[in-house]
Structure 1
Amino acid sequence: MKISHVALYVNDLEQMRAFYETYFNAQVNQKYHNPQTGLITYFLTFADQTRLELMQRPDVMQHPHKLVQGYTHVAFSLGDSALVDQLTSKLAAADYKIANGPRTTGDGYYESVVLDPEGNQIELTI
């Protein structure tokens, strides 16, 4: 068994699609639109065939803050600490917020935590 995909509601679908294409080499499927519900989605597929579904729908409300019960982040394993450092630097240079790191955490992970354009946490790990 494996997880097929994780889905994320977003405010700016095109900005988020471009972010994951640009910095995580995601391959994007054709946009899907359901005119009855207003749902618009993209499936993003990464090199290992892991998928992220970005979704936008007019009746979804924003959380007033990001510390809520439920899923909290997505982690990308880059395979090497130098790659974690490089992508963290590249995102910082593009004015994306680095929440912490790169560093070795108390549980032994080498990681940095960056925020995507809508403030969702992404862990970059080895």
Structure 2
Amino acid sequence: MKIEHVAIWVKDIDKVCEFYRKYFGGVVHSIYHNPAKQFTSRFITFDDGARLEVMHRPDIIVGIEEIVPRETLPDTQHLGFTHLSFSVGSKEDVDHMTQQMSSDGISVVGQPRTTGDGYYESVVLDPKGNRIEITI
């Protein structure tokens, strides 16, 4: 058995898809639109076959950024799914990618480090504010 895909609700599908394409090499697939349900989505496929579905529906509007400006609470945690983790190959790749994202204005909420359980990782926020771990 395997997890087939993970899905997230967003306001701006293209902005979020571009983040995952640019930084993690995801292949963004064609847009699906169901006008009867006002539902739109795109799948992103990664090298190992993992898939992320990025979805929008105009009635799904409440998120942390509607309640509190994201920049005032950049590392807010909540119950439920907490992060996606991408393995990039080496400590140098983690460091380089983290620096590149920081230079591009992406929120870095955890600088590269070795965690207590032995992972070398950094943590950034995607355009929706989802935590993304970048690890070896």
Q: TM-score range by the shorter chain?
A: over 0.9
Does 1:10 find its partner at 2:10?
yes
**1:119 correspondence with 2:125:** no
TM-score (norm 1): 0.94
Identity in percent: 47
Residue 11 of structure 1 and its aligned partner are, at CA, apart by 1.2
Q: Distance in 1 between matches of 2:57 and 2:77?
A: 22
2:82 corresponds to which residue?
72
Kindly provide the amino acid, as one letter, of the partner of residue 70 in structure 1.
G
User: How far, CA to CA, are the matches of 1:63 and 1:69 in structure 2?
Assistant: 13
Does the alignment pair 1:85 with 2:75? Answer: no
TM superposition shift of 1:78: 1.0
Separation in 1, partners of 2:120, 2:77: 23
1:49 aligns with 2:49: yes
Q: Which runs of 5+ in 2 are unaligned?
A: 69-75
Detail structure 1 runs of 4+ shifted over 2 Å in the superposition. Answer: 61-68
- How far has the Cα of 1:28 moved from its partner? 1.3
What secondary structure does 2:92 align onto?
helix
Tell me what 1:108 maps to.
118
State the one-letter code of the partner of 2:109: A
* Alignment partner of 1:63 is 2:73: no
| Residues 44-74 of structure 1: CA deviation (Å, up to 9, x unaligned) | 0011111000001111132336532210110
Aligned residue-pair number: 126
1:99 to 2:109 alignment: yes
Q: Alpha carbon RMSD of aligned pairs, Å? A: 1.2
User: CA offsets per residue over residues 61-106 of structure 1, 9 Å max, x none?
Assistant: 3233653221011000112111111110110110101001200011
Give, in angstroms, the shift of residue 23 of structure 1.
Answer: 1.0
Secondary structure of 2:23's counterpart equals helix
Query: What TM-score, normalized by structure 2, do the two folds share?
Result: 0.88
